[in-house]
Amino acid sequence: MKSTKSASRYAKALLELALDQNKVELIEADMLQLIKLADESHDFHVFLNSPLIQIEKKEAIIKDIFKGFNEVSLNLLVLVTKNGRESAMIEIAKQFIALLMKHRGIVPLTIISASQLEEKTKAEILAKIQGALNGTPAVTELIDPSIIGGFIIRIGDQQIDASVANKLQRMKQQLV
């Protein structure tokens, strides 16, 4: 919990600095690259979380790995490492992207269905929930055959479950 709070503070400060210095796109690209590296490399996670590697050595490695980053991004990563919060680095990047999307008025929305939805159906779903959105939806579609039919919509930390699997589960609970 503490690492999430500190990651949020770092991300907010980074966004404010990016806006002040008009380097939002550069820093966004850096944070997306950091997230991509973290997704692709288990060794990077091990490196960040290793208590055996000294802080000075971690700083040098981070400077080397991210030498192509914007100065603001690189300074943040070095600062985070100096403060012993390098294990929160990936969360900082993710929260920065989330804060940036919010700043731009983009609402991440995930639609999970048992099979690929037709464009007409997707448009109808979006039309019905448009009132609940405070911004432009950025739709991600996922396929999960285990929900049998229907769909699940996730907007931030809210979820609308209109799946057949959920309805069957509720019927089972009522009968038992």
* Cα–Cα distance, 72 to 93 (Å, whole number): 13
- 2-102 and 105-175 share one fold: no
Residue spans of beta strands (DSSP E) within 89-135: 106-113
What is the number of other CB atoms lying within 10 angstroms of the CB of residue 91?
A: 19
| In the chain, where the domains are located | 2-102, 105-175
Query: Does residue 1 have a pLDDT over 50?
Result: no
* Cα–Cα distance, 111 to 163 (Å, whole number): 11
The DSSP bridge pattern shows strands 158-163 and 150-155 to be antiparallel
Q: pLDDT per residue over 36-69, tens digit each?
A: 999 999 999 899 988 888 999 999 999 999 999 9
Q: pLDDT per residue over 63-110, tens digit each?
A: 999 999 999 999 999 999 999 898 899 999 999 999 999 899 888 889
Give every CB contact of residue 3 below 8 A, 6+ residues apart in sequence: 85, 87, 88, 91
Which CATH code for domain 105-175? 3.40.30
Hunting for tokens 């009132």 — which residue is that? 131
Q: pLDDT per residue over 126-165, tens digit each?
A: 888 887 777 888 888 999 999 888 889 998 778 888 888 8
* Cα–Cα distance, 119 to 170 (Å, whole number): 29
* Cα–Cα distance, 143 to 117 (Å, whole number): 9
Q: Confirm or reject CATH 1.10.520.20 for domain 2-102, answering yes or no.
A: yes
User: What are the CA-CA distances from residue 67 to residues 11, 62, 84, 90, 127 (Å)?
Assistant: 20, 8, 20, 17, 45
